Structure 1
Amino acid sequence: MAYEYLMKFIIVGETGVGKTCIMNQFTEKRFDPVYDVTIGAGYGSRIITVHKKQIKLQIWDTAGQEKFRSITRAYYRDAAGALLVYDVTKRHTFERLSSWLEDIWQQGDTTVMVVGNKCDAGEDIRAVSAEEGEEFAKSNRCLFIEASAKTALNVAAAFDKTTKRIREKMGYGDVKEVDEALGINIWNWKGFRIGRTRNDENIDGAAASKRFNSCSCG
């Protein structure tokens, strides 16, 4: 399928919050109750339509373990959008958001969507309220949504809303749009470029990550 823009997205957050499951649900419409811990970064892609434009999202699912943090920071460069994910049932993953956000913004003014994953969990095990998540996002100039990688609730919406915000920045003039006549492979703003179907970066998703068996990522 042809596309007009190529945007780089990253998914960031503590280990076990469901980053890989969110990417798999969005790109492949599947949920794995047992997942593989990401080392470095996994990769997926999907073409969506925003403001009547076909946009291909290149999505990098980054490792959440502290020991791989220096490696994963390299993937933050030139990201147009970021999903900053926490687990609503594990408060420490919410309390670590500021640290992850600082890493993202050290690379530039990336558009960030804060995602409270596992919102399908019962209220009896919820550790972070929706109001707390929304307040954090608002105070840090981020978008906010609660989602469930397990049920697919709001997973697509998280990517769609982030992409729409980037497009709005283009309309406001905050992002300079380059004429399509300049051709493919012309980067016109950090994180995306004008383009048509091709092999892009010839990315091999399997080679982009190594994994170990681990626990549920709901």
Structure 2
Amino acid sequence: MARKKDTEYDYMSKIVVIGDAGVGKSNILARFARREFCMEFRPNIGFEFATMILKVEGKMVKAQIWDTAGQERSRAITSQYYRGAVGALLVYDITKRQTFDNIERWLRQLRELAGSDIVIMLAGNKSDLNHIRAVPVEDGQAFADKEGLLFLETSALDATNIERAFQTILIQINHIKRLRALALAARESAAAASRRSQGTTVDVAEALGSAKKMWCCST
């Protein structure tokens, strides 16, 4: 997935990153957007987002990626955060079981405030800490399969699957946009065909009337 600095793009995709505090959301965003990682946990105030132009399957996409930046600790996330989002990275910490158990609540809030058709990637972060794992890969995959989510394990520390996670979300969003465009074109084509069919019926009747007149005159 190529990154561009150009200002021209085909469409914009807003992606939100959600999950419990301390699961690595801000570092995931920093690693993807700026190739950075901070070892210290430094909670932020207010929402934070990064914007970049990416090439996805031949389309130039303006990706706007939002991080809760600490709002999840007071459960102060509002509909404003989710408004317009077409993709989401739902993150838990593979070393902390509670963060995985809370995923169901986050998913419910996401679907209520962002819509049921949003593209969601479940990400088990901190895969570099496999030696103290508390959530098996199979549990993450099983939950994703049950809820119809994409799934990957990631590490913001060593960048494992960070780019792949966002790339997969953006590709899926592009596929949905393409399918919707095809469906719209099909509906418009069907409507046009229906109008032509209705018009043809009137024309046939007129033609028959003209034919009868011509037949009468010729006899």
With the shorter chain as reference, the TM-score category is 0.7 to 0.9
Counterpart residue number, 1:112: 120
* 1:15-164 superposed matches below 5 A: 15-63=21-69, 66-107=72-113, 108=115, 109-123=117-131, 125-164=132-171
Task: Judge conservation of contact 1:12–1:64 (CA < 8 Å) in 2.
Answer: no
TM-score, length basis structure 2 = 0.75
CA-based RMSD of the aligned residues comes to 2.0
Runs of 4+ that moved beyond 6 A: 174-178
The reply on whether 1:165 has 2:137 as its aligned counterpart is: no
Deviations 1:28-81 (A, max 9, x none): 001111142133311112222111111111111014555532334420121010
Task: Return 5+ residue gaps in structure 2 as ranges.
Answer: 1-5, 186-219
In terms of fraction of residues, the more strand-rich structure is 1
Quick one: structure 1 residues 96 and 64, their matched pair in 2 at CA, closer, same or farther if it must change by over 3 Å? farther
Moved more, 129-138 or 34-43: 34-43
* Helix, strand or coil at the partner of 1:48: strand
1:159 & 1:175 partners in 2: Cα distance?
A: 24
TM-score, length basis structure 1 = 0.75
Task: Return 5+ residue gaps in structure 1 as ranges.
Answer: 179-218
In terms of fraction of residues, the more helix-rich structure is 2
1:81 & 1:11 partners in 2: Cα distance?
A: 9
The aligned length equals 177
The aligned amino acid for 2:143 is: F
